[in-house]
Amino acid sequence: MLSTTPRTTLTRSKERSRTSRSDLHAVLDAGLICHLGVVLDGYPMVVPTAYGRIGDTLYLHGSTGATSLRAAGEVCVTVTHLDGIVLARSAMHHSVNYRSAMVYGTLRTVEDAEERVAALRAITEQLAPGQWDAVRRPDKKELAATAVLALSLAEASVKVRQGPPKDDEEDYALPVWAGVLPLTVGWGAPDPDPALAPGIPVPAHIAGRGRNA
């Protein structure tokens, strides 16, 4: 079960709430980037960034000089999948189908060498499964320049909307098409680096990455 703190308890559209930890993991694992919210000099700042998950910890990384990571402290990390546009018979009932997760907490700077490497592995694999074992690992200099941050998944909420529009009773009689326009996300053909040495084929874990992103 997920937490039921005030900020993770929905006050509206409660039927969209998902409360199991596996729902949270599923939304996070299906994502590629998150939106990290921090407070900087009293102002909110929202930056897209990569992430990875190990168990009930989310990991972020960045340059040790990154503004958003210097702010650190309390954060909100949101991962959103947009699944379709919900087309209703009235303007105000238009909506979107989506799956989203919001995680609240305090960023912990990861100092342990082993945890840092595991985190960087998780972040790399989240973007590109199979790559960690195929590429050059981080060296000492790269590790020194990289901040690794951990966020517990203890306080999180998941919202999901799926299905057709919900119109006002009297609007169902209107001669207006209604339904869902699904959004599909997939992979294009791998585009080789122009500097790629000849004779290096696209590896199976990249070429064969299912149709759906």
**Please, what is the minimum distance in Å from the beta carbon of residue 209 to its own copies?**
7
CA dihedral 83, 87, 88, 92 (to 10 degrees): 80
Q: How far apart are CA 148 and CA 197, in angstroms?
A: 32
β-strand pairing of 108-109 with 43-50: unpaired
Is 165 a residue that touches its own copies (CB under 8 A)? yes
Residue 25 vs 206, nearer CB to its own copies: 206
Which region among 20-28, 51-59, 107-115, 168-176 touches its own copies (by CB under 8 A)?
168-176
β-strand pairing of 95-106 with 146-152: unpaired
**Please, what is the minimum distance in Å from the beta carbon of residue 121 to its own copies?**
8
Which region among 15-23, 41-49, 51-59, 108-116 touches its own copies (by CB under 8 A)?
41-49
Among 36, 110, 122, 158, binds its own copies (CB under 8 A): 36
Locate tokens 């990289």: which residue? 146
Q: With contacts defined by CB under 8 A, how many residues of the chain interact with its own copies?
A: 94
In 3D space, the residue among 157, 113, 158, 162 whose CA is nearest the CA of residue 139 turns out to be 113
Is 176 a residue that touches its own copies (CB under 8 A)? yes
**Please, what is the minimum distance in Å from the beta carbon of residue 111 to its own copies?**
18
**Please, what is the minimum distance in Å from the beta carbon of residue 156 to its own copies?**
13
For 117, counting Cβ atoms within 10 Å of its Cβ (0-12 exposed, 13-18 middle, 19+ buried), the class is middle
Q: Taking CA 46 as the corner, what is the angle to CA 94 and CA 56, rounded to the nearest 5 degrees?
A: 90
Is 30 a residue that touches its own copies (CB under 8 A)? no
Locate tokens 């910890």: which residue? 57
- Of residues 88 through 147, those in contact with its own copies by CB under 8 A are 88-92, 94, 96, 98, 100, 102, 104, 120-121, 124, 127-128, 131-132, 134-138, 142, 146
The binding track of 69-88 with respect to its own copies, each residue x by CB under 8 A or -, is -----xxxxx-x-x-xx-xx
Which region among 14-22, 51-59, 67-75, 107-115 touches its own copies (by CB under 8 A)?
67-75
Mapped onto helix, strand or coil, the DSSP state of residue 51 is coil
Among 30, 33, 54, 118, binds its own copies (CB under 8 A): 33
Q: How far apart are CA 112 and CA 59, in angstroms?
A: 13
